């Protein structure tokens, strides 16, 4: 059964709850019509008929940056050595084999894996629009509709970040792989994006600029205006590779961040993904405009991209979110932990973020980056999306319950997620997905179907 809000009022009893600043024992959460209607402290034992969630319950995790089809690359791209650019060639070969039906099957399995990891909302950076060679499907948004259906059937929320991808590089036409990504111009991209059917409660539509190398400078404003007029989130890959910075400087005499600023592509509803190689001026431009930054540490280290200046951009004013990007792993707790631990390696000092700050990046700020400002907190009026992490596993047993947030961030993994609730409905119960009972088989079969 696809995602629908829980209509019958339900009370959940949380053994321990993270309430944004601290861990509170014995909390009841009342839910009706998919939203939290009341939160009560001091419930030492479960009320009659309450659904019992033992462990630490936190707001649902928001995966702010995903390329669902990259999940098919796990393991394969870890063989041998290479760079981002050699990895990209393997990625293209997988993209070439996808159809709307096979993409639905893969994405449903990937989104189910996310639900098992406590993720209740995903931002899908979607640029795989057309058939190989660039031929349009009868429904020009067939691939996006497959993702929308997949998220519904896996029980999680989706922000479809429909992506403009027009060029292979500064002034270069799309290569043969990229033809299925491209609408030709930003105007034609906007026309197609206007046709996406998004009349389901679990989905919101945003926009994305793949990168400054993939959208000509004079067309950046068209995408930004489309998002601004709809008050929709806009995401962009930014300075992930030094080669992109060098090519941008050669083409425009500007860094990618400066180029975005010149064309009005910075601001509160905009999120820069990666932002790994920034100048001091870049940091100031992002922070002063309150442009968000999405860090994807497990992918950034898997591709040897480097360590982004997360502490610096946040200190300047950019809210931080987290994403699993290429899905080398799907574990938002690991993304949160990695952001802190990578900064420790760089600076050789500890304690750049508290556990509460890292959880905020993984929950409320991630949801805000995806246009779900009404999610990411355990408060009345918020969407009833939350997840429970076991405190009695081999990774989490031992610490005092009041330290459960620190335990979750610095010791737990996605394997410790016991329950996931979306819209008041249990999507994961006792570690089992209620809509996709055998997620490993769904993953294995959908990935095997793509092998050449």
Is the pLDDT at 95 greater than 70, yes or no? yes
| Tens-place pLDDT, residues 167-201 | 999 989 999 999 999 999 999 999 999 999 888 89
- pTM for the predicted model, two decimal places: 0.96
Give the chain's mean pLDDT. Answer: 95
Is the pLDDT at 72 greater than 60, yes or no? yes
Is the pLDDT at 7 greater than 90, yes or no? no
Is the pLDDT at 1 greater than 60, yes or no? no
Closest of 404, 359, 390, 392 to residue 377, by C-alpha: 359
3-state helix/strand/coil string of the chain: CCCCCCCCCEEEEEEEEECCCCEEEEEEEEEECCEEEEEECCCCCCCCCCEEEEEEEEECEEEEEECHHHHHHCCHHHCCCCCHHHHHHHHHHHHCCCCHHHHHHHHHHHHHHHHHCCEEEEEEEECCCCCHHHCCCCCCCHHHHHHHHHHHHHCCEEEEEEEECCCCECCECCCCCHHHCCCCCHHHHHHHHCCCCCCCCCEEEEEEECCCCCCCHHHHHHHHHHHHHCCCCEEEEECCCHHHHHHHHHHHCCCHHHHHHHCCCCCCCEEEEECCCCCHHHHHHHHHCCCEEEECHHHHHHCCCCCCCHHHHHHHCCCEEECCECCCCCCHHHHHHHHHHHHHHHHCCCCCCCHHHHHHHHCHHHHHHCCCCCCCCCCCCCECCEEEECCCCCCCCCCCHHHHHHHHHHCCCHHHEEEEEECCEEEEECCEECCCCCHHHHHHHHHHCCCC
Instruction: Calculate what percentage of the chain has a pLDDT beyond 70.
Output: 97
What is the band of 407 on the pLDDT scale with cuts at 50, 70, 90?
Answer: very high
What is the band of 305 on the pLDDT scale with cuts at 50, 70, 90?
Answer: very high
Mean pLDDT of 334-347: 97
| Tens-place pLDDT, residues 107-144 | 999 999 999 999 999 999 999 999 999 999 999 999 99
Is the pLDDT at 396 greater than 80, yes or no? yes
Mean pLDDT of 281-291: 98
What is the band of 452 on the pLDDT scale with cuts at 50, 70, 90?
Answer: low
| Tens-place pLDDT, residues 228-263 | 999 999 999 999 999 999 999 999 999 999 999 999
Catalytic (active-site) positions: 274, 325
pLDDT of residue 451: 85
pLDDT of residue 91: 82
Q: Are 181 and 189 in contact (CB under 8 A)?
A: no
pLDDT of residue 413: 98
Mean pLDDT of 72-98: 79
Is the pLDDT at 3 greater than 80, yes or no? no
What is the band of 92 on the pLDDT scale with cuts at 50, 70, 90?
Answer: confident
């Amino acid at each position: 059964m696809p995602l629908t809000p829980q209509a019958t009022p339900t009370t959940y009893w949380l053994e321990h709850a993270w309430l944004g600043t601290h861990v509170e024992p014995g909390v009841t959460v009342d839910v009706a019509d998919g939203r939290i209607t009341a939160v009560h402290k001091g419930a030492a034992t479960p009320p009659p008929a309450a659904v019992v969630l033992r462990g630490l319950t936190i707001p649902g995790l928001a995966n702010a940056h995903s390329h669902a089809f990259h999940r098919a690359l796990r393991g394969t791209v870890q063989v041998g050595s290479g760079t981002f650019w050699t990895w990209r060639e393997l990625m293209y070969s997988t993209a070439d084999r996808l159809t709307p039906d096979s993409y639905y099957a893969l994405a449903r399995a990937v989104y189910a894996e996310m639900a098992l990891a406590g993720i209740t909302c995903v931002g899908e950076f979607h640029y795989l629009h057309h058939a190989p060679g660039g031929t349009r499907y009868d429904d020009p948004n067939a691939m996006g509709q497959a993702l929308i259906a997949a998220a519904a059937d896996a029980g999680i929320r989706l922000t479809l970040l429909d992506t403009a991808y027009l060029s292979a590089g500064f002034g270069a036409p799309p290569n043969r792989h990229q033809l299925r990504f491209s609408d030709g111009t930003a105007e034609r991209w906007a026309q197609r994006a206007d046709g996406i059917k998004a009349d389901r409660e679990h989905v919101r539509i945003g926009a994305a600029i793949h990168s400054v190398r993939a959208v000509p400078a004079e067309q950046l404003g068209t995408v930004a205006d489309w998002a601004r007029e709809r008050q929709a989130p806009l995401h962009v890959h930014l300075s992930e590779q030094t080669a992109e910075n060098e090519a941008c400087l050669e083409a425009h005499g500007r860094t990618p961040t400066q180029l975005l600023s010149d064309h009005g592509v910075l601001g509160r509803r905009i999120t820069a993904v990666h932002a790994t190689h920034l100048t001091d001026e870049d940091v100031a431009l992002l922070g002063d405009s309150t442009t968000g930054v999405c860090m994807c540490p497990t992918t950034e280290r898997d591709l040897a991209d480097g360590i982004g200046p997360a502490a610096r951009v946040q200190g300047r004013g950019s809210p931080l979110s987290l994403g699993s990007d290429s899905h080398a792993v799907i574990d938002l707790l690991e993304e949160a932990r990695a952001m802190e631990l990578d900064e420790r390696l760089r600076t050789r000092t500890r304690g750049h973020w508290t556990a509460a700050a890292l959880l905020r990046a993984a929950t409320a700020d991630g949801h805000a980056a995806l246009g779900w400002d009404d999610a990411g907190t355990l408060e009345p009026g918020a969407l009833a999306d939350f997840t429970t992490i076991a405190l009695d596993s081999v990774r989490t047993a031992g610490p005092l319950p009041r330290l459960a947030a620190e335990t979750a961030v610095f010791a737990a993994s996605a394997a410790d997620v016991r329950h996931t609730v979306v819209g008041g409905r249990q999507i994961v119960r006792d570690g089992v997905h209620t809509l996709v009972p055998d997620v490993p088989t769904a993953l294995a079969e959908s990935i095997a179907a793509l092998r050449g």
